Amino acid sequence: MRKLIVIEFITLDGVIQGPGGPNEDTSGGFAHGGWIGPYSDEAQSAVIRAQMGLPFDLLIGRTTYDIWAPYWPNHSFWPGVNRATKYIASNTMTQAHWQPNVILSGDVAAKVAAIKQTAGHDLHVYGSATLVQTLLAADLIDAFWLKIHPITFGTGKRLFTNGTIPAAFSLTRCEATSTGVIMADYTRTGAPPRSSSL
């Protein structure tokens, strides 16, 4: 069975929108894009390189696909992303040029659940805020690999919204960088524990 791992740059108030550049995702009038750059350091870069070097298949939403597809085939420093099968969640896309790919439409949650049962690499999700909400609501996420940045915006697409189901996670890795970013990996353990007393 494959694991589904959500990998996100995130602010203290949960925003995951537009981390890479000012024009990456301005939907909803988001004007804070490019917020990860000032916080980069060698410790964070080493973790990102290690995660990028793992074998994986990619599960992304349409917006992330549209941002990544013109870029990664023309850059060689992440060869794994071009080799990976790209599972693209979209109800409007009929074909995709970044190969190899599979377009998932209709009941995306059911299709992802079926893919998880097949043999193959773990599924890595980057960005894809809308898709992540679908995965959270269907309880399909096995782990979060988060880079928590010491900033807040008060607006923007967030990782956790009202559709999130109750769930418990264990911390499997944690490291703070020189710029105050906390790199924390969480693995799904089950339902939230309850206290037996007041």
Q: What is the DSSP string of 42-75?
A: HHHHHHHHHHHTS--EEEEEHHHHHHHTTTGGG-
Run of H or E residues at 116 = helix 108-116
What Cα–Cα distance (Å) separates residue 144 from each residue in 29, 37, 82, 97? 27, 21, 22, 29
pTM of the model: 0.94
> Please, is 43 exposed, middle or buried when counting C-beta atoms within 10 Å of its C-beta (0-12, 13-18, 19+)?
middle
Q: Which CATH code is given to the segment(s) 4-180? A: 3.40.430.10
Percentage of residues of the chain with pLDDT beyond 70: 99
Backbone angles phi, psi at 115, to 5 degrees: -60, -40
Indicate the DSSP class of residue 15.
Answer: B
- Band the pLDDT of 162: cuts 50, 70, 90: confident
Residue 164 in this model has a pLDDT that exceeds 90: no
Residue 174 is predicted with a pLDDT of: 97
Domain positions in the chain are 4-180
pLDDT tens digits for range 82-139: 999 999 999 999 999 999 999 999 999 999 999 999 999 999 999 999 999 999 999 9
Give 173-188 pLDDT, tens digit per residue.
999 999 999 999 999 9
pLDDT band, residue 195 (cuts 50/70/90): confident
Q: How much of the chain exceeds pLDDT 90, in percent?
A: 91
* pLDDT for residue 76 is more than 90: no
| Cis ω before 55 (30° cut-off from 0) | no
- Provide the pLDDT for residue 22: 94
Is the predicted pLDDT of residue 198 greater than 70, yes or no?
Answer: no
